[in-house]
Chain A
Amino acid sequence: MTTASATGEDQRLRSVSPLRLFLSRPEFGAIVGAIIVFLIFAILSVARGDVGKGFLSIQGAASYLEIAAQVGILGAAVSLLMIAGEFDLSVGSMIGAAGLLLGLLIVQYGVPPTIAIVLTFAFALAVGAFNGWLRIKTGLPSFIVTLGMLLILRGAGIGFTRAITSNTIVSGVNANTANDPIVKLFTASVTIGGGEFKVVLLWWIVAVVVATWVLTRTRFGNWIFAVGGGEQAARYVGVPVHRVKVILFMTTAASAALLACIQVLSFGSADVLRGTNKEFEAIITAVVGGTLLTGGYGSALGSAFGAFILGTTQLGINFVGINSDWYQVVLGAVLLLAVLANTYLLRRASGSR
């Protein structure tokens, strides 16, 4: 926008009000959606007399923010990858696989927690790099490549864990990690007003801030948009397309490993089904947050509001006592509503130009 052109009446230089600029941000719809969803559950809670307890209590907020934070960490990384025009369906399985690796290293092989954490991240980064390499080398859609990896990681998790422990749960992790200062980075919590807020919230904020900064303030961020907008065009202007993609696949895998570390170290166990369907939740988070499935457009900040919507809805349904038989119907409807509101508002804000 700042590259001035010499032509007298350049449309690109037309002054636009700050409000209109805000309204046409990709995350605007998600912010509105988040407010609406929160208000719906707040109103329903007041209607059933739940003031100061349930949804409208600090303890309640701690629980739905935790769910939001868990998926939000993935969402921030996945939205970057999706803006670059790729999918990673293996993040859910990676949570399971990385968690099992961490658990087995600590419990079964007595590896010091810090080294186990480093090895877990190294494993995730290697798998992420392999995903990216395979995507580029074969030219297959990332949807297929990472779908294969989803199955491989899930299956390997079950296979190795049963072969080593003849069980499907690795528990007793916290017996070996209780006093480790590095482990505290993943397990700490603070109690405010009766609600236990876990450190995962902080990681979520860090992930969103870093992703947003990279996307909007760095050259790498420009490259991400360029790669997603048009790969060939990006290559012509000198963007290292392959490097960008491999780094982004490594980022999503690392985000899954981070969540795995938080889950395993704070819940004290790993099991082979951890992270099931989290890949879809991460994609939903990014899309509700205003990121296009086709790439080239989106926001990491938006994914935070997408995660907030997902978290409040998932637990809000239970808080207001909607019969759990209808759980997925309500969840699907709210998500659809959020995406519709998002696209509608975005079209109105940007279409009237």
Chain B
Amino acid sequence: MKLRNTIGALGAVLIVASACNSAAPAASSGGGGSADRSGILIEVVTHGQASDPFWSIFKNGVDAAGKDMGVKVEYSAPDTFDMPKMAALIDAAVAKKPAGLVVSIPDATALGPSIQKAVAAGIPVISANSGSDAYASLGVLTHVGQDETIAGKKAGELMKAAGVTNALCINQEVGNAGLDARCKGFTDGLGGTVKVVQVDLKDPTGAQQSISAAVSGTTGVNGILALGPTGATPTIAAIKQLNLNASIKLATFDLSKDVLNSIKAGDMLFAIDQQQFLQGYLPVVFLTYDKLYGLVPGGGQPVLTGPGIVDKTNVDTVLANTGTTR
């Protein structure tokens, strides 16, 4: 009796296991490429949490490229901003002996050794999103992304042109050097006062209250730059609630439905789009053609996907593709 129950439990486990198994190839097949391409595995390891709408578009780019190229792509990310765990995920991806590896590099010191191990193992590596300052020294083929300082500076210049002198910078992912660079570039471009406000990206209500408090507690704020949609959405809500739309100019990095609707309605001035769909898409294309034909982008320069500006003039086109490619 006891033994039979135990066997029953084991059987249930195996059924669950085989169910998982049948789901996995179904998700990654469906490419239109020739048979030899389906054996190509491209590993993608980023620091992007699945709950962030930004990374959802990045992943759409990865999946679309996998489909278009007819190769297998497998995507992984740590569940929190945890660099030692991400390093282990890179090690794990390398252990799968993929044809190519795509990584984001938010902390080059922590992730460097794991990336160098991949390079040493003969796996071509391309960095995407974060890592423009580190890719060259790690032996990474190229970087596909946006230069955060240049993009931040652009945002500062646009804000300055709109008459902003005293601004807040809303940081939703404290610890990411790329976001710190955006704030620094913004400060340079604006040439005015900038105060950094930290918010929790998993707690929109708390974030909104932090932003309200910062606006009320800082005299003369006439501009706010959010560093991503998870910071922008509570910022829009906070300013609406305080009824300060007329006196405070809003802008953000990266897009979301909320952000685009606010631009269309005139509540937000502009958004800096780094076109992360391309950051997910292009590295998979590059690595596939590297594997097939040895074609690699040359010159050691990064491939810049941004800053693109979304404002009232082009917001309708962008809105039409929201959630899939924008």
Contacts and interface: CB of A to CB of B under 8 A. Distances in A.
Interface of A: 36, 40, 43-44, 47-48, 50, 53-55, 57, 59-60, 62-64, 66-67, 70, 158, 162, 167-169, 171-174, 195-196, 263, 267-269, 271-277, 314-315, 318-325, 327-328, 330-331, 333, 337, 341, 344-345, 348
Interface string B1-35: 01001100110011011001101110110000000
B174 interface: yes
A60 B109 contact: no
Nearest to B2: A348
A96 to B, nearest CB: 9
A97 to B, nearest CB: 13
B309 interface: no
A236 B81 CA distance: 47
B266 to A, nearest CB: 34
B89 A315 contact: yes
Q: Which of B2, B82, B91, B96 is the most central at the interface, judged by chain A CB atoms within 10 Å of its CB?
A: B96
B79 A59 contact: no
B79 A70 contact: no
Interface in B196-242: 196, 198
A169 B107 contact: yes
A263 B88 CA distance: 12
Nearest to B78: A314
B192 interface: no
B28 A321 contact: yes
Given A60-B95, A320-B21, A320-B24, A267 B110 contact: yes
A274 B82 contact: yes
Contacts of A57: 95
A54 B89 CA distance: 11
B79 A330 contact: no
Nearest to A59: B95
Contacts of B6: 345
Contacts, number: 155
Contacts of A172: 109
B88 A268 contact: no
Interface stretch (B69-77, B245-253, B269-277, B289-297): B69-77
A350 B84 CA distance: 40
B138 interface: no
A319 B92 contact: yes
B91 A59 contact: yes
Contacts of A271: 81, 83, 107, 110, 175
Contact of A168 (B2, B17, B82, B175): B175
Interface of B: 2, 5-6, 9-10, 13-14, 16-17, 20-21, 23-25, 27-28, 50, 59, 72, 74-77, 79-85, 87-89, 91-97, 107-110, 112-113, 117, 174-177, 180, 196, 198
B96 A319 contact: yes
A328 B80 CA distance: 12
B175 A267 contact: no
B109 A168 contact: no
Contacts of A40: 13-14, 16-17
Contacts of B81: 271, 273, 276
Contacts of A348: 2, 5
B98 to A, nearest CB: 9
A44 B109 contact: no
Contacts of A174: 109
A337 to B, nearest CB: 7
A196 B74 CA distance: 23
**Considering the complex of A and B, which 9 residue pairs feature the smallest CB-CB distances, nearest first?**
A269-B109, A60-B95, A59-B95, A267-B110, A63-B91, A171-B109, A273-B175, A276-B80, A318-B76
Nearest to B5: A348
Nearest to B183: A166
Given A48-B24, A276-B80, A167 B177 contact: yes
A59 B94 contact: yes
A271 B13 CA distance: 39
